[in-house]
Every structure is written in C-alpha cells, then in structure tokens.
Structure 1
Amino acid sequence: MAIHPQAGQLAPHSSLVNLPELMTAYYLNKPRAATHPDERVSFGTSGHRGSAFLTSFNEEHILAIAQAIAEYRQTQNISGPLYLGKDTHALSEAAFQTTLSVLTANGVRVRTQLNGGYTPTPVISHAILTHNKHQHDVSDGIVITPSHNPPEDGGIKYNSLKGGPADKDITDWVAKRANALLENNLVGVKRLSLQDTQSCGLIESFDFINHYVNDLENVIDMQAIAKAKIRIGVDPMGGSGIYYWEPIAKKYGLDIQVVNTEVDATFRFVPLDKDGRIRMDCSSPYSMQGLLKLKDDFDIAVGNDPDYDRHGIVCAQSGLMNPNAYLAVAIEYLSKNRPQWSQDIQFGKTLVSSGMIDRVVQGLGRQLCEVPVGFKWYVEGMFEGSMAFGGEESAGASFLRKDASVWTTDKDGFIMALLAAEILAVTGKDPQTLYNEQVAQYGKPYYKRIDVAANSAQKALLGALDAKNVTQKTLAGEAITSVLTHAPGNGAAIGGLKVSTGNGWFAARPSGTENVYKIYLESFISENHLAELEREAKELVDSVLAS
C-alpha cells in the first residue's frame, strides 16, 4: 500500500467526521441482519466493531448485544455488578447509554466511573479481577470501544469472570442470540427510558481511577522510576486514560508531563495514518508524529490508543520502537527482574509476532507459548498465573504482578508504558538500546504486515486455508520446515495459515473486525529475502481467492 501524501499531517477540517450525521446514523439506520451478513453482530478477536454509516454498529446492534449479555449472565448465575466502561469515540457515549438502559431493565447492577467519565479497557479487567478475588458474588464487564479504529467507528466487547475478553464459546452464544433478536425485530429486548434508567437504583458510581492507580506499585517498580528521576512524556491521543496520569504522578512522585490534554470525538489533533485516515494507532510513526516531535524533551515518551490497551514507546535517541522489538525487550527484562516468578512460567506470543521473541525466550531458557491472534488466548494462563506475559504484535501486552499473581487479563497500555521507564531506571539503558543488543546476539529481523481489502466471501476462503494449499517444498529459497493451521501453544485454529523456514515465515489470515485480510512476513536474512517472501505469499493467497 502506497503511503498517503498527507500521512503524518493533521487532517483538513473538511475531512473530519461529521458528528451530528454520525449520531443520526446510529439511531436511524436499521441493520438488515437476515439478508446482509455485514450488518449482523459478529465478534472478532476483540468484540463487535463497525460503523454507524455502514449499518454495522447502530443502536439496534447494541440493544441486541446488551440483551444477549444480560441473558447470558442469567444462565451463568452471575449476580455481582457488571463493570461498564467506555472510551472517547463519539459512538461510545451513545452505545454506553443504550447498554445501560438494557442492563438495568434486566435487573443488572452496573458500576460506572464517577461523574460519568471514561474507563480504559485494562482498568475494567483489573476491577473485575479484584472484585472476584475479594467478594462473594462474581462480576464481569463490558468495554465500549473500537480500540484504535477511526473516529466514525464503534465497538463493544464482553469481559468474562476471568477479567479478559470472553472466549469464543461465550461470544458465539452472545452473537447468535443477538442476531436472533435482530431478525425478530428486537422482540424480547427489555429497555428502560432514560429517566427510569437514571432513577432505577441499579447504577453504582465507582472510583476506577484510584482503585487502579493505588495498586500499580504491585506490578511496576515505581520507586525505581521516581529515584532515577525519569522524565516521562505522555500523549493520551485523546483517549480514556487521560485523567489517570496526574494521579499516577502525584501518588508515586513521578516526573510525568501530559503533552496533549484535548478530548475531541473528531480526534482532529491526531495526524493522519499511512492511508490518509485518522487512526489513533500508537504503534504508527505517522499517527505518533505529535509526540515524536517532542522526543528530545523526555527520557521516555509514551502514547496510547483510546481504550488504553495498546502502547507506543518513544526513546529519546531513536524514536518510536517497533512493537515486536519492545515485546522482546520486555520479556527479557521481566524474566530477569521478577525473582518471584517461577522458572517454569510461560511467556506468550501470537503466531504473527516476531521470531525474535522465540529466539530471546529460548536464549533465556524459558518456555514459549505460541497462540492465535487475539488476547483472549492468554486469559486462562494469566488468570491461573501459569503465563507471566502475553503480547501481541499490534502493540498490546500485559503481565503478572511482582508476586506472580494476576494483574489484568486484558492488554494494559499503562503498565507497558510505565515498564519502559522502569527498564531505563533499573538498567540505565532505554528499551531500544537493549533491543539493539538482542539483534547483535540473535540476528536482525525484517518484519512487515500487509492489509488488503477483502469482502466476506474472500475472508471466509482465507479463513479456511489448510496445509493442502501449500504444495511447494521451498519458500523464498529455503526449505519449508512447518505449515501450521493450529497454534502449537494451545492447539487452537489459526483461522488462516503460517508457513515457516529456518530464517523466515509468512502468515495469512482474515481480519475479524475489518474488511481486509492480513499477510505477516518476517525474514532474518535481508530486505530482499523479505520481498521474495512477500511475492510468494501473495501468489498463494491470490490462488486461493481465484479458486
């Protein structure tokens, strides 16, 4: 994909999302679930996402999903409060109110942020886990967010009793019930009026900020950061964690400067991504231009996406780190600086994350667990404490507390950001410097991801890729060593294909939330070898689509 000529620049006013038009579409557009597959409820790797303009995220979707979740809770005898959070997307506020009206009509107690504020994804996970550890009734949660997606998008995901994204069995149940409700004109959906919702007595204000912030010292070495006087720059990118940084700085005596305090549902202050769209992707050097221009003012600078489940790490000398590189550094640092973690504990990566992680974990003599795309695959291991770290190539990760007990079972952009400061404070080296040392030891990887537009039928074909689709014995001049359709770490289906050689690999899979398919590639030889991998991978995918 060619880089848009305005990538890294602020969007012209004329191209910003028309918020009144968007909100009108949310309430007036009616999904045709029975006849239009793209307008049905569909849970991808992280919930149901869509756009009100495309009739894929509208009030009727949320009514049906919220009712389905309320009914699922009843089947599981979940009697504790549901922790409900939202990010700063325009559709999130509307969907939040819709969700409240349905949950309360079903008699569900709901805990929301004091004064109607925003609540990041990891904070919801943390709240569920701490509640279920200390209370007799059990709780779950909902986060209303499309993550880093463009301003016109919306999203909703259900977090289970174990704090993280619900597994496929649960989301399949919820989606099936929600679509049945849509197809039956929402007969069976219970809903209170706005006035009745506010006066029903089922909405409980909860101080998410202090509950989370006061516990951070049990997962991050805050004293080391404060003692080293690390200067931390933060760009919240207009996201839900914007009001957390001042309390963090105050409680732990940290030198934190928030460089952008704006919250605006158009996200007009976020530079255009590589394709010319506003996308709050803290792993993109284009979207992160605002913070990159200030990198010399800080020892470590960090950015996060709107729901704070992703992180972007900026080092003073080198700029924005590659997400895969930071995961490799974080794993090595944590394995050496968390003495209470068992030597037998696992470190998790997705099949499409860098092979550098494999080499680092092997070099440490630790255990690797390779799973399909989606943080839900880490929930069980992190909940039980058998998995120390779970990371995704898309700049999302979380890890255990210092005492090896669970912190969150969803991606946590706060702790990954603060870990970068801890690494610098403890080692005297920033994460990029440590990664350069890993490259010197294990070799230099060349990594690339390609997104290609695809319709539902094409995505279905790609999702059904099988080992029989690979007939060749070599890939980019090397013998093929493995063809995977299931993850070696847990045996779960990839929903695509991964082909590996001694010094390279590619994986192809359809996106669960966008109308694209993705090809991931990596070479430990050269850029030319990576290009050859790309050519052969595309030929394979094209042959499948043409069949």
Structure 2
Amino acid sequence: MSDRAGTRATESDLINVDALIAAYYELTPDVSIPEQRVVFGTSGHRGSSLRTGFNETHILAITQAIVEYRAQHGLTGPLFLGADTHALSAPALATALRVLVAAGIRVLIDTHDEAVPTPALSLAIIDYNRTRTGAERADGIIVTPSHNPPADGGFKYNPEHGGPADSDATNWIADRANELIAADLEGVQSVAEINPAEPPALVERYDFRGAYVEALAEIINFDAIREAGIRIGADPLGGASVTYWQAIADRYRIDLTVVNPEVDPRWAFMTLDWDGKIRMDPSSANAMASVLEHRADYDILTGNDADSDRHGIVTPDAGLMNPNHFLAVSIDYLFSTRTNWRADARVGKTLVSSSMIDRVTARIGRELWEVPVGFKWFVPGLIDGSVGFGGEESAGASFLRFDGSVWTTDKDGILLALLASEIRAVTGKSPSELYRALTEEFGDPAYERVDAPATPAQKAALGKLDPAAVTATELAGETIIAALSHAPGNDAALGGLKVVTENAWFAARPSGTEDVYKIYAESFRGAEHLAQVQEEARAIVAAALGNA
C-alpha cells in the first residue's frame, strides 16, 4: 500500500499525452519479446505505447486478424466501433477504421464523435441482431483498457452475441496478429488517413447514446426513482459515461447530478489507487476518495470506470460498498421484483465471488450457476434468459430486461448504478442497509484478495492443477468438502484451484501479468479465521504444486 493512496494526483503522476501518442506511431514491437506480443486476456489486448505494448503496429495487425476471422466465419454484416476516453483510444480507433474500410466492411461509429461505453456497444450489437440471422449479423470492436492507468490502451472484440469473444476467437486473432507483426505487416491492408469531415460511404453514424438511454426504460423502474425523489450523484471518473448520465437525467426527469463532468486523458483530478497509481477503479476506496467526499449529499452516489462496464455504489450510511455486497443485494432484490423472468432463471456468479450469493440464492429458491473468472461465461445464459443475473466480484454485472429478454452480454456499470437508486426507491432502504440485514440472516463474511510469489513455471502448473494433487483434508480447522479445478456451473476449467469448507473457501489463480498468483478467500467466521485460511491456502497450494 502506497503512503499516497487516496491522495490527489500531482503533476509528477500525470502522463505526457504527446509523448504517449508519439510512441504509439513511432515504436515498433518485436514479437520475440513476450511483453510486446499481442495477448488477449479476459478483456482484450492491453498495453502501453511507451513500453511497446500498444502501438499502431499492434492495432493494424489485430484489426486485420479480425477482418480475416470475420471472413472465415462468413460474417458480412456491419461492425460497431467505439472507444473510451483513454489517450490512446482515439488513435487506435482511427487505425482500426483504416483497416476495416480497406476490407470493405460497413462500420458504424458514434453520431456525436464522443466516447462509447462498453455496454452501449454491446446493446447496439444485440439490438441490431434481434431481427437478423446468419451472415448479415453485426459484431463490434471497443477500444478500451477499462479501468487501467492513463498510459494504457486496450482493444476488445465483441462478436455477434455482443459480449466478450471466447478464447477460441481471441486465441486465433492473437496468433494471427503476431504472425502479421512478425512478417512486418505483410498482408495487412489499410487505406490512407480518413477525413472525419468526409468519411467514405462505408462509414456510417450510429447514435449509441440515444439508443442506450431510450432502452433503459425496459430494464429500470424510473417511475419509482422519480416518485421517491431519490437524490443521485453520478461520477463518470472522466470516462465514457459522462454525457450519458446527463441524458438519463433529462430523459427520465430524475434528480441526478453529474458530480464531475470533466474529461482529461491525464486524469489529473483523480486520487491515487492503493499502489500510488492513477486507476479509474470505482470499486476502490482510494481511487474513489474524491467521490466519497460527497457521500452525505446524495441518497445514492455512484462511480464508473473509463468504459463504464464497472460500478461503484456509495451510500450515506456506509460509504463505498464492497462489490460482493452489492451483488448479493441486487440478486435478492431483482429475483423478487422481476416477475416476468423465467421461473428457472439462474443466478450467475464467478468462482471468486462471495458465498453470500450462494446463501441468498438458496433462500430465494434459485439455481446457482458458478463459472470461471470472465464475463464471457455468462453470455449464453443471458441471451436465452436462463441466467437472470450475471456478476463478478470485480464490480461487473448485467441482468435481463423486465420481460426476461437479454439486455447486454457485457458488463454494464451504468445499469448497476441505476439499480442502486431503484432499490433505494422501492424498498425505502439503502443497499448497504439491506446488506446488513443479509448479514443478520446469514452471517457476516470476511473477504480479501492477496498475492503470493510464483515463478512462471509454478504459475503454469497452477493453471493446470489437478484437484487430486491436494492432499490436505482440512482448511483452517474445517473439513475440506470440495477441491475444484473446473467450475460447477459449466465444467469449464478454472485456470487455478478452489478449495471449499462449510464456512470458508479460497481460490488461487496465476496472474497474467506478474510473477505472483492471486489468492481470493472468504470466511463466515470472521477476520481472524480468514487470515488462517489465507496462511493455510499458501501451504496447500505449495504442497499441491509439489505433488503435481
């Protein structure tokens, strides 16, 4: 923890935007260096131009690979293209557009020439495809590194279902992109720079904001919010939702104030995250410190990250809610009020989300659908309505419309922020008050994520670990009732290990960027027991790796 965590950024913390963009064009990656290769994580390829991890060469190659992937799958429909407010996003969007136009693909970009939230792009794809089948269906690209620091760029492909591409697609795209880079971009086709004032006929305009804001009436009870007079403060944290929040206030006539409408690619107005870096993470109390100063001014105060796929919920009585806590409250509320959802609609959670969700799900009589980390796993269930709600512990979630049809298949931070106000309006209690009621019913769990050192070889072994390698029979004084390497919900590989007892669990997963593995742990027996779980988790993982 940095001693500057939660304090205002100073000039020395800020990026040089001109240098960052210059590096985007001037530096050329060498794919023999692992850090300079195209690698798709759970949310696309990310990196910084200054470290030759996100440069024009990467975007030319990735976009060409997407063009070829579409051709292989016979996709001839339009492609929705949007970007967030990171400094590298606009140059990367322009690069991608040149390749897409050269390929003869019809591209839909924003009417207002403004940033596009990830959920708005997902919704656009889904709504376009509702009445279309086969080759004419649309897909999309969103240029964003999400909540990452200002020096980073990100590039994500969303296929016809509107959500994050699965690993079969991303692995193919990444491999092909690296081949193209290694061949000095031979095979990449692109047109000259496109004049925004006179774009080619293939480039059309789409009102992402208008379509998204109008459709919100199909999923949020604005009448209740307005009639209850809920005072809402929304802080976009300099991200893509900035104009969306004012449009929502105007369209639905609710008492909503955009707390900070400033957009600055340096994010000079931010407070520093736990490690002293600028990071637009609405689930971090340090990153949200300036927002929390206003907690007493509103009934509900919210934050979003740069592409608006994450949410932070602040209440006057509790401050910033733990994401797990809000997910549990949301599930309890939604499944009691959305009466037109399928009677067998399940509750979706990732394996590292709180077991409070398990207990709430059992009480409301629904099936729990536990999947590996990554929102892509919820996509099929959200599309067919068999999953009513899908959520991640990292403050990302989405759910169904009132009629039980799909909303977005990517995380929607704006939606979850609005849900907090609906909950407050309908129940008369804040989400944090409702969570305290859940702890009185089920117990008050202690939850934390910590990191432990691991060599690359150990990380690789952990990602493929067989539960049979776990020889321990107890964890922190309780009998181990399950050791898992595959998710109970869909039998997909976890890429790690989860060990469960009656009142506690831990999950260990290798980091994709550092020589550490992440230990997520929770105990319903308090903080001291959690510390014991964490200590023994390290020993169990070490022993399992030794036995593997």
Same fold (TM over 0.5): yes
Aligned counterparts of 1:403 and 1:241: Cα–Cα separation in 2: 25
* Distance in 2 between residues matched to 1:36 and 1:175, nearest whole Å: 15
Match for residue 414 of structure 2?
414
SS in 2 for 1:360: helix
Within 2, Cα distance between the matches of 1:230 and 1:28? Answer: 50
SS at match of 1:245: helix
Q: Could you say which residue in structure 1 is the equivalent of 2:502?
A: 502
Q: Distance in 2 between matches of 1:536 and 1:190?
A: 54
1:476-515 matched pairs, under 5 angstroms = 476-512=476-512
Shift of 1:455: 6.6
User: Gaps spanning 5+ residues in structure 2: where?
Assistant: none
Q: Is the 8 A contact 1:57 1:153 kept in 2?
A: yes
Q: Which residue number in structure 2 is paired with residue 129 of structure 1?
A: 126
Give, in angstroms, the shift of residue 462 of structure 1: 2.7
Residue 182 of structure 1 aligns to which amino acid in structure 2?
Answer: I
1:275 is aligned to 2:272? no
3-state SS, counterpart of residue 30 of structure 2:
coil
- 1:365 matched residue in structure 2: 365
Shift of 1:285: 0.5
Residue 296 (structure 1) aligns with? 296
SS at match of 2:406: coil
What's 1:398 paired with?
398
CA distance in 2, matches of 1:454, 1:15: 29
Rounded to whole Å, the distance in 1 between the matches of 2:381 and 2:514 is: 28
The 10-residue stretch of structure 1 (302-311 or 88-97) with the greater mean CA deviation from structure 2: 88-97
**Distance in structure 1 (CA, Å) of the matches to 2:415 and 2:123:** 12
User: Could you tell which deviates more after superposition, 509-518 or 136-145?
Assistant: 509-518
The secondary structure found in structure 2 opposite 1:344 is: coil
Task: Give the equivalent residue in structure 2 for 1:26.
Answer: 24
Tell whether the 8 Å contact from 2:271 to 2:287 is kept in structure 1 after alignment: yes
Distance in 2 between the 1:354 and 1:473 partners?
A: 22
Residues 318-367 of structure 1: per-residue CA shift (max 9 Å, x gap): 11100000000000000000110122111100000000000100011111
Question: Amino acid of the residue matched to residue 406 of structure 1?
Answer: V
Taking structure 1 as reference, are residues 270 and 211 closer, same or farther at Cα in structure 2, changes over 3 Å only?
Answer: same
Decide which of 67, 80, 96 is 1:99's aligned counterpart: 96
- Residues 459 and 185 (structure 1), Cα distance of their counterparts in 2 relative to 1, 3 Å cut: farther
* Partner SS, residue 244 of structure 1: helix
Separation in structure 2 between the aligned mates of residue 289 and residue 314 of structure 1, nearest angstrom: 11
Q: Is the 8 A contact 2:470 2:544 kept in 1?
A: no
Report the equivalent of 1:75: 72
For residues 544 and 336 of structure 2, what CA distance do their matches in structure 1 show?
45
* 1:4 equivalent in structure 2: 2
* TM-score for both structures, normalised by structure 1: 0.96
CA deviation after TM superposition for structure 1 residue 25, in Å:
2.1
Identity of aligned residues (%): 54
The reply to whether residue 264 of structure 1 matches residue 264 of structure 2 is: yes
The letter of the residue matching 1:187 is E
* Structure 1 spans left out of the alignment, 5+ residues: none
Partner of 1:163: 162
Kindly provide the CA deviation profile for residues 157-203 of structure 1, in whole angstroms up to 9, marking residues without a partner as x. 11010110011111111111111111211110111111478542211
What is the Cα deviation at residue 246 of structure 1?
A: 1.2
> CA shift at 1:80, angstroms?
1.7
Give the counterpart letter for 2:182 in structure 1.
E
Q: Which amino acid aligns with 1:55?
A: T
1:39 and 1:276 mapped to 2: Cα distance? Answer: 25
Separation in 2, partners of 1:152, 1:493 = 32
Of stretches 493-502 and 459-468 in structure 1, the one that deviates more from structure 2 is: 459-468
* Aligned equivalent of 1:86: 83
1:42 alignment partner in structure 2:
39
Contact 1:461–1:544 (Cα < 8 Å) also in 2: no
Moved more, 89-98 or 484-493: 89-98
Paired residue type of 1:173: W
TM norm structure 2? 0.96
Of residues 64, 67, 86, the one that matches 2:61 is 64
Distance 1:454 1:282 in 2: 29
CA contact 2:13–2:278 (8 Å) conserved in 1: no
SS in 1 for 2:243: coil
The alpha-carbon deviation at position 460 of structure 1 amounts to 2.3
SS at match of 1:215: helix
Which of 106, 109, 119 aligns to 1:109? It is 106
State the Cα distance separating 1:453 from its structure 2 match: 6.6
Equivalent pair of 1:45/1:513 in contact (CA under 8 Å): no
Offset of residue 476 of structure 1: 1.1
User: Closer, same or farther in 2 for the Cα pair 1:340/1:115, shift >3 Å?
Assistant: closer
Whichever residue aligns with residue 421 of structure 1, its letter is S
Paired with 1:453 and 1:146, the residues of 2 have a C-alpha distance of 25
- Cα separation, partners in 2 of 1:141 and 1:399, compared to 1, 3 Å: same
- Letter of the 1:154 counterpart: G
CA distance in 1, matches of 2:452, 2:49: 22
1:108 positional shift: 1.0
